[in-house]
Amino acid sequence: MPATSTHCPYCALQCAQTLHATPDAVAPVRVEARDFPTNRGGMCQKGWSSAEVLTASDRLTTPLVRRTGPGGEKGPLEPATWDEALDVIYTRLTGIQDLHGRDAVAVFGGGGLTNEKAYTLGKFARVVLGTPYIDYNGRFCMSSAAAGANRTLGIDRGLAFPLADLGGADAVLVVGSNPAATMPPLVQHLAGARERGGLVVIDPRASATARLTDGGGGIHLAAVPGSDLVVLLALTHVLIDEALVDANYVDTRTTGWDAVRASVARWWPERAEAVCGIPADTLRATARLLAAAAPVHGGRGAYVLTGRGLEQSTQGTDGVSAAINLAVALGLPGRPGSGYGPLTGQGNGQGGREHGLKSDQLPGYRVISDPAARAHVAAVWGVDPASLPGPGIPAVELLSRLGTPGGAKALLVHGANPAVSAPNVSAVRAALGRLDLLVVSDFVPSETAQLADVVLPVTQWAEEEGTMTTLEGRVVRRRKAIDPPAGARSELWVWAELAERFGHHLAVDAREVFDELARASAGGRADYSAITYDRLDAGESLFWPCSAAAPDGTPRMFLDTFATDDGRAHLVAVNHHGPADDVTAGTPVHLVTGRVLHHYQSGAQTRRVAELVEAAPGPVLEIHPVLADTHGVSEGDAVRVTSARGEMVATASVTDAIRPDTVFLPFHWAGDLSANLLTNDATDPVSGMPEFKVCAVRLERVRHLQEVLA
């Protein structure tokens, strides 16, 4: 059987796969794990079953158009030819722009798009449509981590080191992430720290990752939801108070330390305990454990890793800054065997923001308001820099303004499902309903596609060529193993066809697009200029920056200097203000949301795989026995969860693996089962990231779930 080397279509770990094409129409691909530095031959159940989505029973294979009746009423989606569907899109987009201006059209992308697609979609929005209004679902995932890294380290590459480096460390601090469920093959890289008793996990749940600290593996800090920042401030306070700071590193490699020192002075452990719920002695012991692992004190090394539990907050950027400050106090960033970094979630969340899907960026991680950046990219694109629009607005604001005066009247969605994945999702669904035109490109009829006026069937990962950028800044190849269904087309083809109708030319061949991307990125922070398909095919992967100055790539960053104007890390002093939607007498319980092992993001793919659905058929509410007893809730009961924004009902799972003041819901389900009916769309003022991870709710036992469903 023909074999094709590629990578998993799910998370940013990008586990290596070999796809074997088969003559079986029902199962045309057999998936085999392949050895690679990130996964070392392993995959999670999502990866093993990834080929099943290729033949989903409701796979989209023909364009669909919603007809309008004589009275303006919208009818059902009906099959159409490609020419008809594209003509409808072009005619209606130009009509909207003629009436309301070019800004009346918006674009929403996804972190699963290849680098080539992310790049082209950004170019399509700014050159063909001439709109500033483009953003993507990575705003929900990595924007706080990016903002924090950019303002302190001068650059955002996710991890600034190969993931395998974690294995040699004495200690690894994981803040707000549960990789044992979200990217299981990563856990093997934590084994060294765990064996040495140095794994520290900050999480209000005793998650699968937090439980790795059991039996002497390390320390689990079950902080009050929304108080991770306080824990980080207190740990830094202890390092200063007990003279455990790497003073030489701070003096020679940073600026702003005095302000940081002053800001953490108020967060002595006893005060922090009153806010975060972690005993003062445990905070001190944790700081000492991390210090002992740091090279300045003779340790093998330490790492600080952050995730969405810290970042998806109205103080998410400040939380990231506090994590960086802690790492800097220990002298970790840029030191071999140590470091700081966020764990990117989406498959190409990194590459998407590097090459143009964010509202304020151009390819190469250039700032769109920078005249030099505009001039460089415009030259590659063959347009006048003055013709490029300025910065747009972040995703939450973009979505909330749809169909309002001054907001976009048309939205093109590519590789995203905001009708499920956005916070306060009832408001987002209402906003989508206000549009004059909603166009969705997808390979299955996602919940957002079902609301669309035009649906375009596109290819999946095993049916296309491209590149992805992993959580460690490693660029890898995606390769075509099988032909797509006859009616499906690559988004590159879709955008080229639409561009032609607008009088523009866009490349369709992925290799040609990547070569152009490399030129557009040259000299930028995310410089891919020395990367080619031939080099990736010969050597599997390359780390950016990869340029004439660093032709072999840059596996480890910051060894000698940071990417700032003076080469120093610019530390930012921060403080804690707490969640925007904190508990009250009427909503006395913290709700935290997250992923479960068997599903991914909005569930549009994994909810179509039988074995994954069987393993996790619906959302389960984790609730502590004490809290359950207070509300008369038993295992398997139906519980109504209500926030200021909405309500939903879930099955109770009574467990002591969560704080007694907190409940947990996964967010992979749609409709009335969506956890995002409850979540808060308040955003971080720097990053624009919404506060997914904590809000206040009240609980009510209703009837047994079977009765509710009946």
pLDDT digit string (tens) for 189-215?
999 999 999 999 999 999 999 999 999
Residue 584, pLDDT > 80, answer: yes
Tally of CB atoms within 10 A around 83? 10
Mean pLDDT over residues 592-618, rounded? 95
SS3 553: coil
What's the confidence (pLDDT) of residue 632? 97
pLDDT band at 271; cut points 50, 70, 90: very high
Half-sphere CA count of 445, side-chain side, radius 13 A: 16
pLDDT band at 25 (very low <50, low <70, confident <90, very high): confident
8 Å CB contact between 183 and 13: yes
In this predicted model, what pLDDT tens digit does every residue of 96-155 receive, in sequence order?
999 999 999 999 999 999 999 999 999 999 999 999 999 999 999 889 999 999 999 999
The mean per-residue pLDDT over the stretch 441-453 comes to 98
pLDDT at 344: 86
Sign of CA dihedral 311, 314, 315, 321: positive
CA atoms within 13 A of residue 35's CA, in its CB half-sphere: 0
Q: Is 510 helix (H, G, I), strand (E, B) or coil?
A: helix
Cβ atoms of 589 and 699 within 8 Å: the answer is: yes
What DSSP letter does each residue of 604-673 carry, written as one string? TTGGG-HHHHHH--S-EEEE-HHHHHHTT--TTEEEEEE-SS-EEEEEEEE-SSB-TTEEEEE----GGG
User: 172: which DSSP letter?
Assistant: E
> For the chain, which domains are there?
64-141+347-543 (3.40.50.740), 147-343 (3.40.228.10), 589-709 (2.40.40.20)
Alpha carbon separation from 518 to 14, 128, 351, 476, 538 (Å, rounded): 21, 20, 12, 14, 18
User: What is the structure's pLDDT at 704?
Assistant: 57
| pTM given for the model | 0.96
Identify the pLDDT of residue 709. 52
> How far is Cα of residue 82 from the mean position of the Cα atoms in its chain?
32
Average pLDDT over residues 451-464: 98
Nearest Cα residue to 112 out of 11, 256, 7, 232:
11
